[in-house]
Amino acid sequence: MTDSNLSFPDPPRIELDRRLSDLVDAANQVLATQGRLRALLRANHAISAQLDLDSVLRSIVASAQELTGAQFAALGVLDEHGGLEQFIHTGMDPEDVARIGRLPQGEGLLGALIRDPTPIRITDIASDRRAAGFPDGHPPMRDFLGVPVRIRDAVYGNLYLANSPAGAFTEEDEQLVRSLAATAGFAVENARLYRETQRRQQWAVASAEITAQLLGPEPVDALSLVAGKVLVAAGAMSVFVVFQADEADRLTVVDVQGADPHLARATTVTTAETIADATLRTGDARRFDEHEIRALGKPHLEAFGPVMVLPLTTPDRTLGALVVARAQGGVAFSDMDVLAATDFAGRAGVAIELAAARRQTEQVLLFEDRGRIARDLHDRVIQQLFATGMQLQGVLGTLPPGRSADRVDAAVTSLDDSIAQIRRIIFTLESTARGPERSTGRQRLFDLIEQLSTALSIDPQVNVSGPVDAVLDGDLAEDVLAVVREGVSNAVKHAAGGVIDLTVTADARGIAVVVRNSGSLPADSGRRSGLRNLEERARRRHGGMTLGAEGDSTVLRWNVPLRHLVEAVVQA
């Protein structure tokens, strides 16, 4: 029995169906390829449209992930030593990143691509001998694709992709990522140039602002102003201003802007222990990336990342140095950063010098004015007061004893006190008119009293008599100033109502300091280190010191003979 409806296709029809199926597959492949090419064009446009370098780097990573459909994507930026300076990644949850801890350091497959910048495409990471394994908490990764990103002939960094949705990256994936990397190189270079232009502009603006403020009419703290501008323009964590101390081998940190983790402000350190040593000796700027900072092994640098040291110079000398530090993990300072910052520091140094010269000129004018006032007080005011006093004394001789005579006598006494006070003012004005480099013992004494008055919020009664300027110099002046400082400070603690009298007298017998306060004698009198120090200073000069109660007051007396009297006693 046969079925007349049963038939078999002839060979030509089978071939036609096969060819139609191949054409459909090819068309689908063309459409898929066109889609990926359009995606590549969009990615190139998205990358090229950015000018901010950080945005460009993030856009590169996101575009590579989108093109390949990879689960994980990253871009490692290389530093000068071939390690990873930055690692921008996507695909991991924040919890995964927290569990892993530190970012990759350029080992395993990442390091292999750094050492040999040619594309790497493997289907099984675990079986590759170059793999170094993953840290605890790292998500699983199967296949891998790595492509270098070049800027002209230099390798800027590497693109890393893992876990393709197809189970393995294809030749087409590699070609697409290589094309993206080529575009990324040009985009990165443009962004770097744009960043450098912006930074140069920031340094130029900061330099103009520094010059305007330092040379302006209002007084400013020049070093703090300069350090603050550097902190902002350099994107730094901290800026330290260091100057040569009185000792040749030591530096003083005169100012700190930003973070000061080790409380370095106002401290003095050995020059050889700092990274500013070479800059101060040669006047050349230096920079250190974070790898070099760690290699130095200095504890005071552990909190910082990249550092640059800038000389603070004038045309003829080096004033000091600026130590500029970024935070750990910060981008290393480039050659452009160092050049722009050095130029700024040089301009700032000149501005500081000009401002100092202007202040000196103003001081000279002030001293001249004080000298003129002192002459006027001496030649006119004192003479007039003296003449008035003589007239009143003449009137007093004609008056009978009584109330009127007492009032005239009190007026004469008041005029004598006024004349004495004016003479002390004249001494002070004449001393300051000579300039700070020629300050006399009397002027140093009054300067100290003014400092103590401000610091301790007191208004002591001061009486200075005798040729103090003639005898108060050298190490004797240091002893007397130390006695006044300790005596007044001690009196402040025990003075009732803040009443303190200070008398400094110089005569043929020597120099004496008396500090009287209206309080009671301190309970631990004579046992404190400060008073023992004053006793020792008096003993060395063959003098003496006493502290005791006199009526309702406590009185400190310190006196020493003059040097020639001491020498006469010793020779005898």
- Domain of 109, CATH number, reads 3.30.450.40
Q: Do both 422 and 508 map to the same domain?
A: no
Which segment of 240-249, 362-371, 507-516 scores lowest on mean pLDDT?
A: 362-371
Question: Mean pLDDT in the chain?
Answer: 78
| Shared-domain flag, residues 187 and 46 | yes
Tell me: pLDDT of 436 over 60. no
Amino acid 571: pLDDT? 43
What is the domain extent for residue 309? 215-333
- Each residue's pLDDT tens digit, 442-465: 777 877 887 777 666 777 888 888
In the chain, % of residues over pLDDT 70? 76
Last residue of a domain, one of 333, 361, 393: 333
Q: Quick one: 372 and 453 in the same domain?
A: no
Q: Nearest-CA neighbor of 274 among 321, 237, 209, 319?
A: 321
Is residue 558 very low, low, confident or very high in pLDDT (cuts 50, 70, 90)? very high
171 and 86, same structural domain?
A: yes
Residue 433 shares a structural domain with residue 547: no
Q: Confidence class of residue 479 from pLDDT cuts 50, 70 and 90?
A: confident
381 and 447: one domain? no
The distance in angstroms from the start CA to the end CA of the chain is 162
Q: State the CATH number of the domain containing residue 561.
A: 3.30.565.10
Q: Is residue 5 one of the residues assigned to a domain? A: no
DSSP string, 200-267: HHHHHHHHHHHHHHHTSSS---HHHHHHHHHHHHTT-SEEEEEEE-SSTTEEEEEEEEE--TT--TT-
C-alpha 138: how far from its chain's center?
39
Q: Is the predicted pLDDT of residue 2 greater than 60, yes or no?
A: no
- The more confidently predicted of residues 552 and 368 is 552
pLDDT band at 568 (very low <50, low <70, confident <90, very high): very low
> Rounded mean pLDDT of 102-130?
82
For 139-198, write each residue's pLDDT tens digit.
888 899 989 888 877 888 888 899 998 888 888 888 888 888 888 777 788 777 777 788
Residue 425: what pLDDT? 66
Q: Which of 423, 438, 453 is the last residue of a domain?
A: 438
pLDDT tops 90 at residue 348: no
> What number of other Cβ atoms are within 10 A of residue 59's Cβ?
20
Q: Which one has a higher pLDDT value, 289 or 38?
A: 289
- Whether residue 551 is contained in a domain is answered as yes
Q: Is residue 18 part of a domain?
A: no
Q: Note the pLDDT of residue 557.
A: 92
Looking at the structure, tell me whether residues 36 and 182 fall in a common domain.
Answer: yes
Specify if 521 maps to a domain: yes
Tell whether 142 and 191 lie within a shared domain.
Answer: yes
Question: In terms of domains, do 407 and 543 share one?
Answer: no
Same domain for 98 and 179:
yes
Q: What are the φ/ψ torsions at residue 100 (nearest 5 degrees)? A: -70, -40
Residue 132 and residue 100 share a domain: yes
Q: Is residue 93 part of a domain?
A: yes
Does 302 reside within a domain? Answer: yes
